Structure 1
């Protein structure tokens, strides 16, 4: 089923239910559909057709949601990019996707107008006086009825750009079939029911944001856009809109819990929470259970390329566990080989660390990167997707992520995963965040270096205190104890929030030279 049909089915079921809330303005499914139809007819008059890319540089807002559904009805390809990308990365995405239209707001105007285009697209401004034509003008000129294009579910519905920690972003084309299957999986894995209410906290240029939106449509639920992203505003919105489910990255949960008092808000409607995108520490997991008291709490491990790898909903017993493969998936752990020589037959024995590979034949799996056959050949081999993640299975066959192949440290001939050390350090009450990197050493090959963000700058946290904590911790062997500490005010991150370890290596080198 294509996504335009998914939207129209939702409208036919419950046209008068609230579909979207923004700035206290409520839009029913019928009202949202009328604006989508008006936008789609105007875009069609501008020449936007099947398979054309419509690039979107917008925050989460009503207009972004309507553009998403209008492109699905047209058979065009919704192509959102992060407004915080560097000018160089923005230019790359533009050149790579060759959009027919670019939709932007005042905060992203400079990035759009300074870019170079081989074929100039139509510039559509959301804010007054921007672009060749405004969003509002398109809606006013359009018609309230629109006959959706007829096309196959294997056609591309959207393209998301991954923002790795090295190199340019890669375009990940996702078919209607991919997104339909992934959304069904998302609903089941998060135990969602009809008429859920969620907070659109994750941006629509991210796979988590897309599936939050799609799941609410399929369930005739309510998608609430947080206009203010500060913790107090978001907690107030959770209470006011009786949000029933949340799906966010761990950092957003951390911010809510650090800045909110449960006694100040009635969050009794919130029954289901989930996270993805990064590991969640055991300490933060316990805080989420204590603060939200969820009936269902799931760790979703996946990627933009293949939405679901594994899920775990037993986090009270196994915090940090990634669980078992999703019901569409097959998974293996193979011999870690940075050169790419390991095959799907090189499976490691149970209990040993291996690279996680996922079969690339599921309905949730993409077929390859946009204009990047080299990257596709590297990622998909022998019909398996090589994640680059390292994991280990426990006695019950549940997966734990222990790091990345390119982040593995080798000290004294022993393979060391940064994740287990970071978990221990993050559990210290004076530590806000911890990241482990390796430093070259003539004797050991590498030594473990811990980069620490203290909870409070003046908390008096010392190297000696952390070293003693690690020595006494039952989960950390002496050989994995950090031999050097680097205190920083914040961790360097890319536009999607991933930690840039290479920047920490540069900072460490600078400190060593001073």
Structure 2
């Protein structure tokens, strides 16, 4: 099987002069980018890095980050990207856990790096305008050279860190073959054609960002860097670069549509939409369908551990459905309280979602975390930690996280169904549902609402009563907030809502009776 370095060279062979990378004013063809990558590969060797060593990057989605990622694939180094917002103790943890020999950072992460104790003991390279004595990327890797594939498909490609919602983050090592197969599946499942153009805004420390980067090398495409998401800048890039496909979390789609420049922007080049990372509520699905009228609208459900669980290529036709297993995957829903992957739940019965570890896209276990392996890897299946059910037609619906399940009066209640209903209220901009402690019920269902305009809780309750939402799932309380707390990649942080860590909005004004 081809390794990733030789995969990159396929595009150089086929489309050497085509534009491959865009970052502001910088534009590189596949040939030019290959030469830049070769220079970084040579520079990494000069720094003493050898195959199997880890490289920790604390970078935004700039061209240096993309180039460094590819150079590691040629050199057989393990790219280990970290959130550029990481705190000093998180950098210390990642350096200690991975044993990285090199740390590459930029101005936005400089303060955290300077306060990291372990960062003082490794080689450091700076990117961009950073004060200090550490060598600069542009000088350390100034020489251009042809890249040389030194890795094989069985070598490690990268190690992603999970978000660490409970306990310390877990390193997810992935081999080059798994990364290549996952990229191939992404091409097939999103029906990419040669010359596709994508907005490189999903961070390269997240599997969605890595997938966007790698797939462009399979189809001689164009990766348009966006260091930090800004809706206005994203819209300008879509129009200027004639972006053909968007692969974003729902939050970023919401922000694009809500920006005043959207209606003034030519987005006709965008013919395919894909989303992942979090459920997309019905109202946003319908708004996107109307705004883009895409040829393909894909709901992609997966994880860092096994890239694809399932896909729904008709997201609007069956809202809320994650579809069926991807082309490299087997999955099933098992009993909610079971640890046996053979205890399959009945149709429409909510349970745990598990995926076959024999998937060509799968990892083989967490880095230095045997207790996490024991919890998540059982009898050849990966326990995702997600809940869901399969309908009568065989389509999967993801209802939330096992840890997010609300148990009220003995009933298991998933937040997603309630959120989808409330999202259709015209005054609701965003909504998240969580369970708060209740002396009588154990937990009570509470809806946290970011409103578009003045709306009373009574109106939202009436909306739920008029829907097909069963009564015991109806929120017993509405809390109005200025923003829904989210992770850097747009996942709702329900634990913050439960803990009271949110910015409450003023209560709605009372309705004014007509004169």
TM-score exceeds 0.5 = yes
Quote the RMSD (CA, aligned, Å): 1.9
Could you tell me how far 1:490 is from its partner in structure 2?
Answer: 1.5
| Aligned residues of 2:60 and 2:228 also touching (Cα < 8 A) | no
Q: Which moved more, 1:440-449 or 1:153-162?
A: 440-449
Q: Which moved more, 1:284-293 or 1:462-471?
A: 462-471
Q: How does 1:240-259 map to 2 (within 5 A)?
A: 240-259=240-259
Q: How does 1:345-494 map to 2 (within 5 A)?
A: 345-455=342-452, 459-473=453-467, 475-494=468-487
Could you tell me how far 1:217 is from its partner in structure 2?
Answer: 1.0
Corresponding residue for residue 509 of structure 2:
none
Could you tell me how far 1:500 is from its partner in structure 2?
Answer: 2.3
Corresponding residue for residue 231 of structure 2:
231
Q: How does 1:105-504 map to 2 (within 5 A)?
A: 105-117=106-118, 120-128=121-129, 129-140=131-142, 142-149=143-150, 151-226=151-226, 229-260=229-260, 263-337=263-337, 341-455=338-452, 459-473=453-467, 475-504=468-497
| Aligned residues of 2:175 and 2:363 also touching (Cα < 8 A) | yes
Relative to structure 1, the CA distance from residue 228 to residue 125 in structure 2 (aligned partners, 3 Å threshold; closer, same or farther) is closer
Paired with 2:365 and 2:228, the residues of 1 have a C-alpha distance of: 36
Provide Cα deviations, 1:312-338, integer angstroms capped at 9, x if missing partner: 01123201210000011111110112x
Corresponding residue for residue 60 of structure 1:
61
Provide Cα deviations, 1:30-56, integer angstroms capped at 9, x if missing partner: 111111111111110110110111111
Paired with 1:506 and 1:14, the residues of 2 have a C-alpha distance of: 53
Could you tell me how far 1:510 is from its partner in structure 2?
Answer: 12
Corresponding residue for residue 507 of structure 2:
none
Gaps of at least 5 residues in structure 2 are 505-515
Relative to structure 1, the CA distance from residue 409 to residue 9 in structure 2 (aligned partners, 3 Å threshold; closer, same or farther) is same
| Aligned residues of 2:54 and 2:100 also touching (Cα < 8 A) | yes
Paired with 2:3 and 2:126, the residues of 1 have a C-alpha distance of: 28
Provide Cα deviations, 1:58-79, integer angstroms capped at 9, x if missing partner: 1111111110111111100111
Any idea what SS the aligned residue of 2:304 has? coil
Provide Cα deviations, 1:147-185, integer angstroms capped at 9, x if missing partner: 331x43121101111113222211111100110100000
Paired with 2:442 and 2:109, the residues of 1 have a C-alpha distance of: 45
Paired with 1:503 and 1:189, the residues of 2 have a C-alpha distance of: 34
Provide Cα deviations, 1:328-352, integer angstroms capped at 9, x if missing partner: 1111110112xxx420111111121
Could you tell me how far 1:191 is from its partner in structure 2?
Answer: 0.6
Relative to structure 1, the CA distance from residue 322 to residue 194 in structure 2 (aligned partners, 3 Å threshold; closer, same or farther) is same
Could you tell me how far 1:445 is from its partner in structure 2?
Answer: 2.5
Q: Which moved more, 1:111-120 or 1:384-393?
A: 111-120
Paired with 2:201 and 2:286, the residues of 1 have a C-alpha distance of: 22
Any idea what SS the aligned residue of 1:403 has? strand
Relative to structure 1, the CA distance from residue 145 to residue 445 in structure 2 (aligned partners, 3 Å threshold; closer, same or farther) is closer
| Aligned residues of 2:496 and 2:502 also touching (Cα < 8 A) | no
TM-score by length of 2: 0.94
Any idea what SS the aligned residue of 1:490 has? coil
Any idea what SS the aligned residue of 1:287 has? helix
TM-score by length of 1: 0.94
Could you tell me how far 1:396 is from its partner in structure 2?
Answer: 1.0
Corresponding residue for residue 79 of structure 2:
78
| Aligned residues of 2:92 and 2:117 also touching (Cα < 8 A) | yes
Corresponding residue for residue 500 of structure 2:
507
Provide Cα deviations, 1:207-257, integer angstroms capped at 9, x if missing partner: 001111111111101111135732222112111111111101011100011
Paired with 1:307 and 1:214, the residues of 2 have a C-alpha distance of: 13
Gaps of at least 5 residues in structure 1 are none
Paired with 1:362 and 1:11, the residues of 2 have a C-alpha distance of: 29
Paired with 2:488 and 2:199, the residues of 1 have a C-alpha distance of: 21
Paired with 1:509 and 1:272, the residues of 2 have a C-alpha distance of: 35
Relative to structure 1, the CA distance from residue 30 to residue 508 in structure 2 (aligned partners, 3 Å threshold; closer, same or farther) is closer
Relative to structure 1, the CA distance from residue 315 to residue 143 in structure 2 (aligned partners, 3 Å threshold; closer, same or farther) is closer
| Aligned residues of 1:125 and 1:133 also touching (Cα < 8 A) | yes
Paired with 1:130 and 1:375, the residues of 2 have a C-alpha distance of: 39
Could you tell me how far 1:90 is from its partner in structure 2?
Answer: 2.6
Could you tell me how far 1:435 is from its partner in structure 2?
Answer: 1.5
Could you tell me how far 1:113 is from its partner in structure 2?
Answer: 1.9
Any idea what SS the aligned residue of 1:323 has? strand
Any idea what SS the aligned residue of 2:277 has? coil
Could you tell me how far 1:371 is from its partner in structure 2?
Answer: 1.1
